[in-house]
Amino acid sequence: MRQAEISRQTNETTVSVALNIDGTGQYDINTGVGFLDHMLEQLSKHSLIDLTIKATGDLHIDDHHLTEDVAIVIGQALRQAMGDLKGIRRYASQTLPMDEALSRVSLDVSGRPYLIWNVSFSQPKVGGFDTELFREWFQAFAMNSGITLHVENIYGENNHHIIEICFKALARALREALEIDPRQKDSLPTTKGKLG
């Protein structure tokens, strides 16, 4: 089983993450930030990655430190759980709708982290959550998981829908890319002999 547990403690946050790539989408998530919890539940459910997250932080300042650190630890746990990367499909791209919004996530589990973020919002907040923090989340996740990640909102009006469908598209792309390909289950999906 491809599983990992990672913890991180700083003067700003305490975060622990346990995940299982080969799960069923079970989750137990508590960051103290309701909208972030909702997005991470979508990530777990639609990727079928079991995800347990416990996080506390300096929310009296704002949600920035906690949001970024949660993404860092999820990324690190995912990278550890992926192991030697043998047999994975590696690439995936998912274009998904949610009501009036349509978003696309394309990724390469390459060991070379990169983020392209083509998502904009019409409002600075969704509820009490700063929309600009979602780029920070995806950036930290990509850098710490070693994934090349392209996120694009093609169109949409409702900021909640735009954000949620980005997370769902990421989830479905991860599910596809991390799936073991029975035609190459004992080899790396690269001609270089190494990913990264």
Question: What gap in Å lies between CA 143 and CA 5, rounded to an integer?
Answer: 18
Instruction: State pTM to two decimals.
Output: 0.96
Rg of the Cα atoms in the chain: 16
The CATH number of 3-177 is 3.30.230.40
Q: Which pLDDT tens digits describe the chain residue by residue (196 residues)?
A: 899 999 999 999 999 999 999 999 999 999 999 999 999 999 999 999 999 999 999 999 999 999 999 999 999 999 999 999 999 999 999 999 999 999 999 999 999 999 999 999 999 999 899 999 999 999 999 999 999 999 999 999 999 999 999 999 999 999 999 999 999 988 888 878 777 7
